[in-house]
Structure 1
């Protein structure tokens, strides 16, 4: 289990717990007392995002199983479940085991379960009372799973993955889906619990239209499985949705005649902290398609680091690198503070531009000018908050992440389970 210090009085942690390992200390000032760089989640936008996406799923008559591989942070799993999530989605069996150990009992593995060592973990979870669903897309995998789980005296719920040409895994043709469903029905140790898909692999001209068609295909396929009596559970699952096109998936599930007979499940993961890059852009698309949603998600994850050197005019080196923050896009300087300063007196980063990153260094081109708060005002030790693109690739660089309030006081420190 996670052990965090909740007493407002700081405790002393050994030096090796600083840096990427963060500290277990709470009640500290991020601008004065925390070793940087540090990954930080802001409580107010986090709470907003949890409530916003849960309400979105509810209004579309769907369940929410957030993709936990984004954060692998059990404290966030608990917050998501407390907000009303139906379960947690994971990408690997060790991730499933870690989530189960922290209290997530309904687990959806959005991948094929391959390899006897991974099957043994799945069996362990089922015997311990876990509700585990895995995906399949071929006869060989079905045969392997059937043999293993029948010998173990267990029944494994499986979801057939529906894929697309040129995509990742999944049955490419609807007839392959039906044939595989019949194969599952004929074998011991397995039960067909529904269909799974991922629209993020759908590309081409007019992606929105293609994704709508893909979602409608999922609905049509699961209804056909029902008509042919191939589904082995009550209220079988139909599930898709990453963090970019969830609105289109939710609409297709809502309008597909599934209510009362099926369990539609949405699986976005990055929504919980959103971002300052690809998902901020994706949300603009969501809000343009759905103006009724008004305000969407808010970025909650940032990485704080300090100016390390001012080696030449117009250049700042920040102690932040590829080992600290995702590099799908260059990190975005958001705001600057004096070390030990007041959150109410932020300094400007207008015109700051990331030009290069190394393992532990970020190169910043500073704007020319002499106005207060601009290039000549930068000092070694200044603290800069950076926004990242694609939070998955920032979370996995940290073992502990600080939760802060609006005054940048650390109110909790959460461990990750990568």
Structure 2
């Protein structure tokens, strides 16, 4: 009896074996590596006196959100009103929407969420016009909206660039009784530079926040200051641990991809972290893989795998890791002679030695780069133990 990983058939059944009982391809998260990463990042934040609000858009898996909260996370970061409402419905009580709340329909989603659920919610503002729209909407709803000023960088994404923009925004928020300014936010991941540029931005973030606090701009005694993606979190933690920031603010870090890590861009970013922080304990572990079957061996050195763009991120090519031949219970590592050379909707072209042992039905585990763009292709995924038995079937809510 097979357990299908499709929405029509429901979650993968606990206790079934990945290699024999689960329809492939399948998104797989390894339980041991997940637990390691979960506690690794929480300890790092704790050591620096910061709190974690992991970015939930990476997985959009409420079952993983709850694990992060149970491990000590202060809240969950999300990117949209819909994502925020999903998290609130699933019991997350503190949500930081690291984005502007734009559009009346999205404002209504947040208003309904605030009425229906017990949730401490924050969003970002960076323009006077958006502040005006939010103020009018939430005043009409007889609700108060907590907002954070977003600080940006030249040629970056959103966020105020100049002191003049910041001053105008603060005045606009203070003119709207339905809005409360609760802190300052930035995202260093948009900086296409080296450590000095990142450090400079984080220093400016702290300086701006301290200046605003000194002028009484915030609506609370301990406002928030928040930054950190999944590449420069060590530098953010170090800046936030400086006495002036720790004394003045609740310092909030928001990495998301750390939980499952990857075999691509975040593995490279981790090497940078370890080079900068040689005293760090062992590194994050890749916990996310896609398992798929060899479909055809049509010519020497060419293997077609039943895996495509609909199943795995393709910023970079998937990385072939291990193969289980036939009914084997132990895998064989695939060395660097094997590489994915082309990806179509549902086929992967794998190039390898002309003489090889791969046959249709063999199962290959692939690593991916950029977990956000792999998880969003799946409605369900398998959390597996070291024996590749399904410990839990988990749902995503994209």
Q: TM-score, normalised by structure 1?
A: 0.92
Of residues 340, 345, 359, the one that matches 1:379 is 359
Instruction: Extract unaligned runs of 5+ from structure 2.
Output: none
Q: Does 1:229 align with 2:209?
A: no
- The one-character-per-residue Cα deviations of 1:317-357 (angstroms, maximum 9, x if unpaired) are 00001110000110000101134431xx2124222111111
Of residues 137, 145, 164, the one that matches 1:156 is 145
Give the aligned length: 396
Measure, in 2, the Cα distance between the counterparts of 1:151 and 1:20. Answer: 41
Answer whether contact 2:11 2:394 (CA < 8 A) is retained.
no
Measure, in 2, the Cα distance between the counterparts of 1:151 and 1:321. Answer: 48
- Counterparts of residues 5-404 of structure 1 (less than 5 Å): 18=6, 23-127=11-115, 128-204=117-193, 207-255=194-242, 257-342=244-329, 345-350=330-335, 351-369=337-355, 375=356, 377-404=357-384
Measure, in 1, the Cα distance between the counterparts of 2:142 and 2:6. Answer: 47
Answer whether contact 2:154 2:161 (CA < 8 A) is retained.
yes
- Provide the aligned C-alpha RMSD in A: 1.6
Change (3 A) 1:20 1:165: farther
- The one-character-per-residue Cα deviations of 1:38-66 (angstroms, maximum 9, x if unpaired) are 00000000000000000000001101000
Measure, in 2, the Cα distance between the counterparts of 1:67 and 1:23. Answer: 24
SS in 1 for 2:218: coil
SS in 1 for 2:247: coil
Q: How far did 1:183 drift?
A: 1.9
Answer whether contact 1:20 1:398 (CA < 8 A) is retained.
no
- The one-character-per-residue Cα deviations of 1:140-182 (angstroms, maximum 9, x if unpaired) are 0000111111121111110010011111110001332233112
Answer whether contact 1:32 1:341 (CA < 8 A) is retained.
no
Q: How far did 1:20 drift?
A: 9.8
SS in 1 for 2:156: coil
Change (3 A) 1:27 1:193: same
Measure, in 1, the Cα distance between the counterparts of 2:351 and 2:140. Answer: 63
Answer whether contact 2:340 2:351 (CA < 8 A) is retained.
yes
Q: TM-score, normalised by structure 2?
A: 0.96
Instruction: Extract unaligned runs of 5+ from structure 1.
Output: 1-10, 370-374
Answer whether contact 1:19 1:37 (CA < 8 A) is retained.
no
Q: How far did 1:256 drift?
A: 5.3
Corresponding residue number in structure 1 for 2:396? 416
SS in 1 for 2:251: strand
Q: How far did 1:18 drift?
A: 4.5
Q: How far did 1:21 drift?
A: 6.9
Answer whether contact 1:19 1:36 (CA < 8 A) is retained.
no
Answer whether contact 1:31 1:339 (CA < 8 A) is retained.
no
